[in-house]
Structure 1
Amino acid sequence: MLRSFLEPGQFVRHPAHPEWGRGQVQSAVANRVTVNFEHQGKVLIDAAIVTLSPID
């Protein structure tokens, strides 16, 4: 099982969907990351497939 390096509250972008805007991590359990994006809403991401880009 993979462990996500993302933490709740962290801001990210989806590399394949820049139009979704900035997203805030809501939860990260193993490889399941729930992110609330500005223009897409809440999305469940499989971190084993998609590498989200953290925003500093």
Structure 2
Amino acid sequence: MTGPFQSFLEPGQIVQHPDHPDWGWGQVQSAVEERVTVNFQHQGKVLIDASRITLKLVPRTG
């Protein structure tokens, strides 16, 4: 087991899964250490291990 992992993601941020662009954008619901729950447009809620998958942050416009 490795040391504590700190995710840079926060609830409310918009992200995309690099391996599943067909899921659309997703909103981060929670981020606790490496466990990030994201609600994607076309996939629903997914629990992501952020120590294995780097979600792409979608910049906010406006």
Band the TM-score falls in, shorter-chain normalisation: over 0.9
Q: Map Cα deviations across residues 1-56 of structure 1 (whole Å, 9 max, x no partner).
A: 10000000000000000000000000000000000000000000000000000000
Unaligned runs of 5+ in 1: none
Q: Which structure is larger by alpha-carbon Rg, 1 or 2?
A: 2
Between Structure 1 and Structure 2, which shows a larger proportion of strand residues? 1
Q: Following the alignment from structure 2 to structure 1, what is the Cα–Cα distance between the partners of residues 53 and 10?
A: 16
The CA RMSD measured in Å over matched residues stands at 0.3
Contiguous gaps of at least 5 residues in structure 2: none
Q: How many residues align?
A: 56
Q: With the length of structure 1 as denominator, give the TM-score of the two structures.
A: 0.99
TM-score (norm 2): 0.89
